[in-house]
Amino acid sequence: MDLKAKYEHLEALNAQAELGGGLERIEKQHASGKKTARERILALLDPGTFTEIDKLMTHRNYEFGMETNKVLGDGLISGYGKVNGRLVYVFAQDFTVFGGSLSRANADKIVKIQQLALKMGAPVVGLNDSGGARIQEGVESLAGYADIFYNNVMSSGVIPQISAILGPCAGGAVYSPALTDFIFMVNERSHMFVTGPEVIKTVTHEDVTKEELGGAHTHSSKSGVAHFTGNDEDQTLMMVRELLSFLPSNNLEDAPIKPTIDPSDRVDEKLQNVVPADPNRPYDMHEIIQTVIDNQHFLEVQPHYAQNIIVGFARFAGKPVGIVANQPSHLAGVLDINSSVKAARFVRFCDAFNLPLVTFVDVPGFLPGTNQEFGGIIKHGAKLLYAFSEATVPKITIITRKAYGGAYDVMSSKHIGADVNLAYPTAEIAVMGPEGAINIIHRNKLNDTERVQAVQDYREKFANPYKAASLGYIDEIIQPKYTRMRIIGALDMTQNKRKSNLPRKHGNIPL
Ligand code: HXC
């Protein structure tokens, strides 16, 4: 072969690899409203930044006539590129090749990406669209999955790991995304389940469609498996880019600052009237969050799941933070099993990746009931307590209204290591609400008029922030309109915080 022919041979191989499972299957993929793996990677990364690795890898299977059925790349596109100018590793399962199923070779490519990302300290984004284990390969495929799971775990807390589910993701295959930090799904296009509708029908006789069982709506509102949902693939991939803009590349870096023209000393008069005078009237905590952050730009995580707690990313004076907030307009902002677990996982993510925690508190307590007790609210509530306590990032807490009972302690109180604790004059910090307290103190000894008076007296005496402030549990009582500047001041004061917990193999969070 002369030189020219050699170069042409390479180009031909590259072109062949780029065609994946062939034009017909590509058209089928498009017809079903999906992009190809390669198109997805190009949509995710900054233009012209993708470098592919292992483009010519093939499977090594000799069963079922597979030795004559090889596709260059073997159904997985992998490599690296940039998102907003920063290095990111990426892999995308190519459904046009054996349904994106996972072969041994295919797993080796993913593991290579994972190990490179870990070594270079950059995030991994996985774009999932697969029929699961490559059936022709049997246990070799299972071994490949296990290698990926192992690397997911070793990367956890070191580099951000993000999964976008853009097609089927079933069986044990769901566990790699589940081990990553965030799962994105696409409405009506992506499905996740451990066992599908047919198996469920056989085993439990339940009738369920795959959309009901494992669609984006289910996982973003019922199971809490998914963190973000896009209307289509393009929007979903843009959301992945947005999430990355809030995150450091690894656990040794700080998150990137995004300069803003939103003034740090902005005073917001409208905040004076957000918390209602009547302590039993709900209000939307989003209003406070949106008002105080930079440019009203809030990336909410799991917005449709356990809505009694709000978690998400925002910036103050350009610096990314994690926000945790009770939501009084949903179940009065009570802490229950799902909201505790949702917030605990978020707090641990922020702590692992050096994102300060800003916590807004309006919580009447833990949700009473047999459902909650039988479901283990004790151990699940403890997760949030554990997460806030072990977090060593700067912790700023603002009590807007209620902070009652154990929930006061849990919600990033001074006692579990918050650095700056602020309260509005409307704050009520006490062991329990006035009605409950009077019922217990006076049992049935009061008539109706006396009871109303006793509740009123209790409210005036205890349902305020002044007792806590007199004890130093609250550093300052502030007018709501100054919230933004106080938070920015607190973040500035804590920016060089040095705190580490005692060395240990690992703690024993109540899982
Ligand atoms: C090999 C597969 C495959 C697989 C699909 N294909 N899944 N090849 N191994 N797991 C191939 C098909 O043969 C077909 O090839 C092409 O991909 C497209 O598949 P279709 O069935 O035509 O597509 P569609 O109708 O869209 O259905 C998609 C699907 C279905 C729902 C994913 O293909 C399916 O049910 N596949 C099997 C899923 C499964 O049981 N996987 C194993 C689960 S066990 P041609 O040549 O016709 O285009 C598992 C364990 C993991 O995953 C454990 C990890 C610990």
25-74 pLDDT, tens digit each: 999 999 999 999 999 999 999 999 999 999 999 999 888 888 888 999 99
Residue 347: which domain range?
Answer: 269-427+464-493
Query: Considering the domain boundaries, does residue 206 fall inside one?
Result: yes
Q: Is the CB of 172 under 6 A from ligand 1?
A: yes
Neighbours of 223 (CB within 10 A): 14
Indicate whether 507 pLDDT > 80: yes
Q: Is the CB of 167 under 6 A from ligand 1?
A: no
* Orientation angle between helical segments 434-442 and 448-462, nearest 10 degrees: 120
Atom of ligand 1 nearest to the CA of 130: 32
Of the listed 121, 157, 171, 375, which one is catalytic? 171
Identify the H or E element spanning 362: strand 357-363
Atom of ligand 1 nearest to the CA of 133: 52
Indicate whether 84 pLDDT > 80: yes
Q: Are residues 486 and 419 in the same domain?
A: yes
Indicate whether 225 pLDDT > 90: yes
Indicate whether 450 pLDDT > 90: no
For the chain, how many structural domains are there in total? 2
pLDDT of residue 67: 87
Q: Report the mean per-residue pLDDT for the chain.
A: 96
Dist. CA 143 → ligand 1 center (Å): 18
pLDDT in tens, 100-116: 999 999 999 999 999 99
Active site residue 164: no
Indicate whether 509 pLDDT > 80: yes
Query: Considering the domain boundaries, does residue 45 fall inside one?
Result: yes
* Closest residue CA from atom 15 of ligand 1: 98
pLDDT of residue 14: 97
Q: Are residues 382 and 414 in the same domain?
A: yes
Percent of the chain with pLDDT over 70: 100
Q: Is the CB of 194 under 6 A from ligand 1?
A: no
Torsion angle in degrees (nearest 10) through CA of 265, 267, 271, 277: 110
* Closest residue CA from atom 4 of ligand 1: 134
Q: Is the CB of 134 under 6 A from ligand 1?
A: yes
Q: Is the CB of 197 under 6 A from ligand 1?
A: no
pLDDT of residue 445: 82
- Report, as an integer, the average pLDDT of 167-180: 94
Q: Are residues 236 and 320 in the same domain?
A: no
Write phi, then psi, for 195 (nearest 5 degrees). Answer: -130, 135
Query: Considering the domain boundaries, does residue 437 fall inside one?
Result: no
Active site residue 85: no
Of the listed 196, 406, 436, 489, which one is catalytic? 406
Dist. CA 16 → ligand 1 center (Å): 23
Q: Are residues 242 and 321 in the same domain?
A: no
Of the listed 121, 172, 224, 417, which one is catalytic? 172
pLDDT of residue 442: 84
pLDDT of residue 436: 85
pLDDT of residue 57: 96
Q: Are residues 177 and 50 in the same domain?
A: yes
| 8 Å CB contact between 482 and 269 | no
- Report, as an integer, the average pLDDT of 92-99: 97
Rounded distance between C-alpha atoms, residue 232 and residue 251, angstroms: 31
Atom of ligand 1 nearest to the CA of 146: 55
| 8 Å CB contact between 154 and 146 | no
pLDDT of residue 460: 86
* Closest residue CA from atom 3 of ligand 1: 131
Q: Are residues 202 and 284 in the same domain?
A: no
- Report, as an integer, the average pLDDT of 273-300: 96
* Closest residue CA from atom 6 of ligand 1: 99
Active site residue 48: no
Rounded distance between C-alpha atoms, residue 275 and residue 283, angstroms: 7
* DSSP secondary structure of 175-230: HHHHHSSEEEEETTT-EEESS-HHHHHHHH-----HHHHHSHHHHHHTS---SEEE
Q: Is the CB of 132 under 6 A from ligand 1?
A: yes
pLDDT in tens, 359-370: 999 999 999 999
Percent of the chain with pLDDT over 90: 90
Rounded distance between C-alpha atoms, residue 497 and residue 419, angstroms: 9
Q: Which of 191, 214, 246 is the last residue of a domain?
A: 246
Q: Is the CB of 142 under 6 A from ligand 1?
A: yes
Give 459's pLDDT tier (boundaries 50, 70, 90). Answer: confident
Dist. CA 39 → ligand 1 center (Å): 21
Q: Is the CB of 186 under 6 A from ligand 1?
A: no
The β-bridge relationship of strands 420-423 and 395-404 is: parallel
Q: Helices (DSSP H) in 443-508: which residue ranges? A: 448-462, 466-470, 483-493
Q: Tell me the whole-structure pTM to 2 decimals.
A: 0.96
Dist. CA 133 → ligand 1 center (Å): 8
Atom of ligand 1 nearest to the CA of 135: 9
| Pocket-testing residue among 98, 103, 174, 194, ligand 1, by greatest number of atoms within 8 A of Cβ | 98
Q: Are residues 286 and 180 in the same domain?
A: no
Query: Considering the domain boundaries, does residue 401 fall inside one?
Result: yes
Q: Are residues 8 and 102 in the same domain?
A: yes
Q: Are residues 302 and 342 in the same domain?
A: yes
Q: Are residues 336 and 420 in the same domain?
A: yes
Q: Give residue 136's identity as a one-letter amino acid code.
A: Q
Identify the H or E element spanning 82: strand 76-83
- Report, as an integer, the average pLDDT of 138-156: 97
Q: Is the CB of 159 under 6 A from ligand 1?
A: no
Provide CB contacts within 8 A for 236, sequence distance 6+. Answer: 164, 166, 184, 185, 186, 228, 229, 230
Query: Considering the domain boundaries, does residue 291 fall inside one?
Result: yes
Q: Give residue 253's identity as a one-letter amino acid code.
A: E
Query: Considering the domain boundaries, does residue 256 fall inside one?
Result: no
Query: Considering the domain boundaries, does residue 485 fall inside one?
Result: yes
Indicate whether 284 pLDDT > 90: yes
Q: Which residue has the higher pLDDT, 444 or 498?
A: 498
Q: Which of 188, 213, 246 is the last residue of a domain?
A: 246
Dist. CA 195 → ligand 1 center (Å): 14
Rounded distance between C-alpha atoms, residue 117 and residue 106, angstroms: 17
Query: Considering the domain boundaries, does residue 416 fall inside one?
Result: yes
Q: Are residues 173 and 319 in the same domain?
A: no
Q: Is the CB of 168 under 6 A from ligand 1?
A: yes
Give 447's pLDDT tier (boundaries 50, 70, 90). Answer: confident
Indicate whether 431 pLDDT > 80: yes
Q: Is the CB of 131 under 6 A from ligand 1?
A: yes
Active site residue 407: yes
pLDDT of residue 405: 93
Check which CATH number belongs to the domain holding 418 and give it.
3.90.226.10
Q: Are residues 332 and 471 in the same domain?
A: yes
